[in-house]
Structures are given as C-alpha cells and as structure tokens.
C-alpha cells in the first residue's frame, strides 16, 4: 500500500496567500488535536476547581512533576518529525518504517526511567518545600500518571507518521472521542457518580490514564490504513534489523537530545515557577488566602490552551518546511516560515486581547473558589502580554526543526529563560516583593528574548542551502 501523501498536500505554494491557505489546511486540524490533548488536563482542572479548594492545587503540583519528567521524552521523539517529513518530501518510502520503528522503541526506552522518576514523587515535593498538606494527594496523582507515559509517547509517535502524510482525520476523531471519554470518567470518578467512590484528584488521574490508553488504541484503529504500511514492514527481518540497529538508534537519540533539552528547558522554567510559588505558599501559609499555586495553575492552564494553536501551526510549518527541504526547494521553505510566523502573530494577538479584557470570565470556567480566583486574576493579564512572544517563538522552533536545526532553540532557551528571565523574575518576586506576579513578569521577559533570538537565527538559516537529515 502506498503511504505517500495526497499530491495536493505537497504541491509547492505559488504565493504567500496560497502558502497561508495550505498551512491552515494542514495546521488547523493539528492545532485542534493539540487543543484536545491539553483539553484532558483542562477538563480535569475545571472539575477539580469546582470540587473543593484542595483538589486543584494538589493536581497542579502532581501534574508539574509529570510534565517535568515527560518533556525530555517528548522532545527526543520529536526528532522523528523532520526525518519523516523530509523522507516524504524526497519520496523515500523505504525510510519511513525504519524511522517509525526506531521511534516506537525509543519511546519504550525513555518511558521506563521517566516513570521511575515519579515513584518518589512525595520526596521530590518535600525537597522543593511544597505545602505539607498537598504533598500526599499530589504525589498520588503523579504516581498514577506513570501508567500513562508510554501510551502518550506511542500516541505522539503515531501522530508524527500521520501528520507527515497529511492524514489528519484519524487524529481529530480520536482526540474528540478521547476528550468526551475523559470528561465522562472525570465526572464519575471525581464526584462519585453511578455508585463509584468520590475520589477527587485521584479519580482525575485514573481517568487520564484510562483515556490515554484508549486514545492510543483508537488512533491505531482509525489510522490503520495509513499506519499499517509504516508498521507492517517491521515484520520482515531485514527491515527490523535495519530499524533497530544500534548505530541509527543512537543517532536518532543524538538528534533528539537537543530537542528534548529544549522542551525540558522551556517547560521546566514554567514548572520551576510553579514550584517557587508553592514554596511561597509553604513559607507564608496562614490558611486565610489559600494556595497561590492554584491561581497560578488556572492562569497557566489558560495560557497552555491558547499555546496549542501556534504549536499546531509550528508542527504544520515543520512538516511543510521539511517537505520543501526534501525537495530541495529553498524558496518554498522560506515562504512556509514567513506564513507561519505571520499567522501565529495574528492569532496570538487575538488571544492577548481576550486575556487582557476578560480575565474573570476565563478564570470562572476553571474554578469557583474565591481564593483561587483572586490570584488567577492577577496573573491572567500577564499571560496575555506574553501571548505574541510565546506564539512566535514556538513557530520559529518548528520552522528550524523542519530545516534540521535542533540546537539553536536550546541555546535560546538557556539564555532567554534560565540566565535572564527566571533570575529577573526571582528578583522581582523576592527582592522587590512582587510575589507570583514578579515570577510571571520574568517569564514575559524570557519569552520575548527567546522569540527575538530565534527569529534572527531563522532568518539567517533560510538564506542557506539545507541538506536532508538522515540517521542511517
């Protein structure tokens, strides 16, 4: 069976406007899938925010640990994206089963240590000086999520194959069904419906685990027509031997390590802010105001949801740039990058206005706890300010990944977030007494530094001739 994409999906654009249309045709369904993936946590948070005052911050801390250990794994597997899209662009169908097999095996190898790191979740939270009454339920949530890491990584790998071939309907159908199932399971397990015990954050964790395994099965079933030609050749000894050979596997990991580092550095700085706010709660907790980390999580969940739109555009831009590189068409790669950056800036301007003008409306969707709302309303407008920088930097990263550059984003994140943004945020929060708002202002500074640096790198590299990536 032929696994090459429909001819129309790879047709080089004739103009900037044509490129925008083709980008949106590919990127909007991918963005919808990304929104759906974040929607699992969004629904968890919304239901816990209307359950009781303690469940939401417990889930927030537990989820922070889960994302810290998962980020490197997700980034390392993202190395398959440019390999697949460039292979498709070059018409090299034989390379696709090898890359797919390596990514599936790498997902298993990465999920094991990531899961084990969550076993001492309570000890990690104690070391981070988090509120004592939240540690047990947060650790319980994190340990349950150990069971969801492997299906999530395999789901991501299957999506990479489908996206590289512009096969989007199975992804959209799976994510819609998965969100409906997760919402139903949340309602039953969090609130104790249909005779189930009332489980709070524990129930939300179980619902997420079950949903992720079922979503993996659903994606394989719905996308089998397109996944089978990439998977079934692995039954042949020669293909399997080539796919699982040590040297190409290590080269794939070497290619993915900078991407994993970039994911970890970017999401790690947000996790660090969450833990610093939890530390503030622990040191100043008097029971009157409630945990500030809950307000942080409300604002962060809203920012994460809006971030999924430019992330979907970034993934589409990576594919389209990768196709162009595979064809040896530098002009098309540059046109795809310009279109993606422009669309991301326009979309995130809209989100910026929404965050600035309607923070209470947005916060009320996630919680009805007054103490959580009070802190969320101070942070949501700050999240609005960084929307454009956040969108531009992630799309620039996607374009660079399509070109095969996986190292520049690492250095941009180290300088922008860890050497400048976070230290300045700590100065504002602790030195000048701004508290959580100061930490978030540091995030704003870091995001715009990263975005500016990556745009400069992208502009330079688009003027250079790029060769196709290989790990054989």
User: Are the CB atoms for 427 and 446 separated by under 8 Å?
Assistant: no
**Residue 366: predicted pLDDT:** 85
User: Are the CB atoms for 277 and 293 separated by under 8 Å?
Assistant: yes
Q: Is 91 left (phi over 0), alpha (psi -120 to 50) or beta?
A: left
Torsion angle, alpha carbons of 119, 121, 127, 131, to 10: -160
User: Are the CB atoms for 342 and 19 separated by under 8 Å?
Assistant: no
**Residue 285: predicted pLDDT:** 56
Distance from C-alpha of 329 to C-alpha of 58, rounded to nearest angstrom: 50
pLDDT along the chain (472 residues), means of 10: 42 82 88 85 84 80 88 89 81 88 95 94 91 88 93 94 87 92 93 88 90 95 92 91 90 90 88 87 58 84 91 90 85 92 96 96 87 88 94 95 89 95 95 91 94 95 73 62
**Residue 404: predicted pLDDT:** 85
User: Are the CB atoms for 351 and 299 separated by under 8 Å?
Assistant: no
Query: How far does CA 396 lie from the centroid of its chain?
Result: 15
**Residue 5: predicted pLDDT:** 41
pTM over 0.75: yes
**Residue 68: predicted pLDDT:** 87
With vertex at residue 323, the alpha carbon angle to CA 409 and CA 229, rounded to the nearest 5 degrees, is 110
Structure token digits, residue 175:
């994510």
Contacting residues for 170 by C-beta, under 8 A, at least 6 apart: 162, 219, 222, 223, 226
**Residue 63: predicted pLDDT:** 87
Determine the angle formed by the axes of helices 201-222 and 132-144, rounding to 10 degrees. Answer: 20
User: Are the CB atoms for 180 and 115 separated by under 8 Å?
Assistant: no
Distance from C-alpha of 354 to C-alpha of 361, rounded to nearest angstrom: 10
Contacting residues for 466 by C-beta, under 8 A, at least 6 apart: 325, 330, 333, 403, 404
**Residue 468: predicted pLDDT:** 63
Q: How far is CA 265 from CA 48, 182, 252, in A?
A: 28, 29, 20
Closest CA to 438 of 286, 296, 290, 282: 296
Per-domain residue ranges for the chain?
16-462
Distance from C-alpha of 208 to C-alpha of 94, rounded to nearest angstrom: 36
**Residue 286: predicted pLDDT:** 45
First to last CA, the chain: 24
Encode 242-265: b = buried (16+ Cβ within 10 Å), e = exposed: bbeeeebbebbbebbbbbbbbbbb
Closest CA to 325 of 81, 136, 38: 81
């Amino acid at each position: 069976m032929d696994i090459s994409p429909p001819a129309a999906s790879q047709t080089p654009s004739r103009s900037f406007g044509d490129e925008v249309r083709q980008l949106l045709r590919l990127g909007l369904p991918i963005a919808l899938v990304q929104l759906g993936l974040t929607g699992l946590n969004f629904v968890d948070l919304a239901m816990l925010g209307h359950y009781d005052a303690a469940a939401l911050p417990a889930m927030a801390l537990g989820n922070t640990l889960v994302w810290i250990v998962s980020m490197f794994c997700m980034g390392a597997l993202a190395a398959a994206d440019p390999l697949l899209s460039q292979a498709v662009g070059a018409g090299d169908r034989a390379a696709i089963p090898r890359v797919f097999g390596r990514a599936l095996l790498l997902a298993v190898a990465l999920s094991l240590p990531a899961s084990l790191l969550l076993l001492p979740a309570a000890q990690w939270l104690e070391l981070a000086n988090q509120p004592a009454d939240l540690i047990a339920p947060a650790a319980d949530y994190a340990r349950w999520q150990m069971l969801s890491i492997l299906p999530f990584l395999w789901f991501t790998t299957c999506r990479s194959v489908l996206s590289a071939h512009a096969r989007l309907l199975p992804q959209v159908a799976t994510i819609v069904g998965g969100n409906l199932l997760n919402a139903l399971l949340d309602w039953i397990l969090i609130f104790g419906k249909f005779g189930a015990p009332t489980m709070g954050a524990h129930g939300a964790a179980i619902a997420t685990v079950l949903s992720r395994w079922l979503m993996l099965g659903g994606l394989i079933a719905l996308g089998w027509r397109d996944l089978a030609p990439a998977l079934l050749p692995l039954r042949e000894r020669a293909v399997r031997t080539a796919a699982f050979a040590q040297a190409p596997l290590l080269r794939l990991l070497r290619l993915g390590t900078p991407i994993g580092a970039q994911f970890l550095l970017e999401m790690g700085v947000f996790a660090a802010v969450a833990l610093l706010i939890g530390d503030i709660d622990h040191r100043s907790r008097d029971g009157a105001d409630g945990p500030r980390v809950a307000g942080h999580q409300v604002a962060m969940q809203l920012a994460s949801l809006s971030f999924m739109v430019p992330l979907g555009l970034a993934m589409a831009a990576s594919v389209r740039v990768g196709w162009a590189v595979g064809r040896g068409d530098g002009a098309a790669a540059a046109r795809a990058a310009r279109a993606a950056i422009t669309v991301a800036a326009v979309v995130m301007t809209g989100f910026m206005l929404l965050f600035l003008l309607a923070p209470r409306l947005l916060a009320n969707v996630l919680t009805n706890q007054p103490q959580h709302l009070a802190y969320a309303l101070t942070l949501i407008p700050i999240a609005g300010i960084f929307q454009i920088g956040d969108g531009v930097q992630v799309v620039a990263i996607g374009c660079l990944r399509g070109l095969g550059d996986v190292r520049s984003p690492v250095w941009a994140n180290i300088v922008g977030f860890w050497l400048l943004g976070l230290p300045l945020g700590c100065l504002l929060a602790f030195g000048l007494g701004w508290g959580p708002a100061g930490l978030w202002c540091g995030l704003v500074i870091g995001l715009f530094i990263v975005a500016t640096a990556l745009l400069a790198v992208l502009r330079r590299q688009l003027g250079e001739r790029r060769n196709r990536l290989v790990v054989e």
